[in-house]
Structure 1
Amino acid sequence: MKGLVYNNGILAGVIEKDDDGEYLFRYDEDYFVASKFPAISLTLPKSQREYRSSTLFPFFYGMLSEGINKDIQCRLYKIDENDDFTRLLLTSCDDTIGAITIKPEDDELFRVLY
């Protein structure tokens, strides 16, 4: 599963979770080389193009709802409350706090929303 990461509507990179459960964030090549585009987060600087982690990157985890809103989203989208990655892809498409939005790369997953 992959998500396209946008900064103010400009494709900044891709976040994905592989079959082993490892997370990867990779800056889009055009975004990475353009000095006018800032890093999406202080914890994901443009000093390297690709990041890997065994847990969801704190920056992306911080975009997730908590408490009753998390419960509502999990019920609404019929996803496991521990599946943070799917919840990120389904709930970070619009109206996020800040400039970053994430859209599922998979059209089928995206249709769940619209």
Structure 2
Amino acid sequence: MSSHIDASVKFHNRLAGRLLRRGKLFTFQYDPEFLADASEPLSLSLPLQSEAFVSDELHGFFSGLISEGWLRRLQSFSQKIDETDELLLLVNNGRDLAGAVTIEPIESASS
């Protein structure tokens, strides 16, 4: 399991924020430009605020976007990802989610 992951979160094709994993901590923070004129949050459980949401597990809203059952097993197998690594599964498959949210990896400058 990769301990560092950076991803952009888009809402209606507009950057809404960043989702990060550093070690065992997960952080989501809204983008300041998104906050400046947003009319609605990504989720009721992620109200519009400038402070980061930090947790020792992937926030329920994001966890709910991950495939389940046979599709999750297929993605895990074909992409060689541990089935329990929810954030990596989400980032690898986040461009093809149902609804208005997409998740895309942010490539590091060293790549």
Residue of 47, 51, 55 corresponding to 2:53: 51
Cα offset for 1:48?
Answer: 4.2
Cα offset for 1:38?
Answer: 1.7
Aligned length: 104
Q: What stretches of structure 1 move > 3 A for 4+ residues in a row?
A: none
Letter in 1 for 2:16: A
Q: Does 1:30 align with 2:33?
A: yes
Aligned-partner SS, 1:86: helix
Matched residues, percent identical?
31
TM-score (norm 1): 0.86
Contact 1:32-1:49 at 8 Å conserved across structures = no
- Deviations 1:89-114 (CA, angstroms, capped at 9, x unpaired): 001112x121000000027xxxxxxx
Contact 1:3-1:102 at 8 Å conserved across structures = yes
TM-score (norm 2): 0.88
Contact 1:31-1:37 at 8 Å conserved across structures = no
2:80: which partner in 1? 78
Letter in 2 for 1:28: D
Cα offset for 1:49?
Answer: 3.3
Ranges in structure 2 where 5+ consecutive residues have no aligned partner: none
* 1-structure distance, mates of 2:9, 2:33: 13
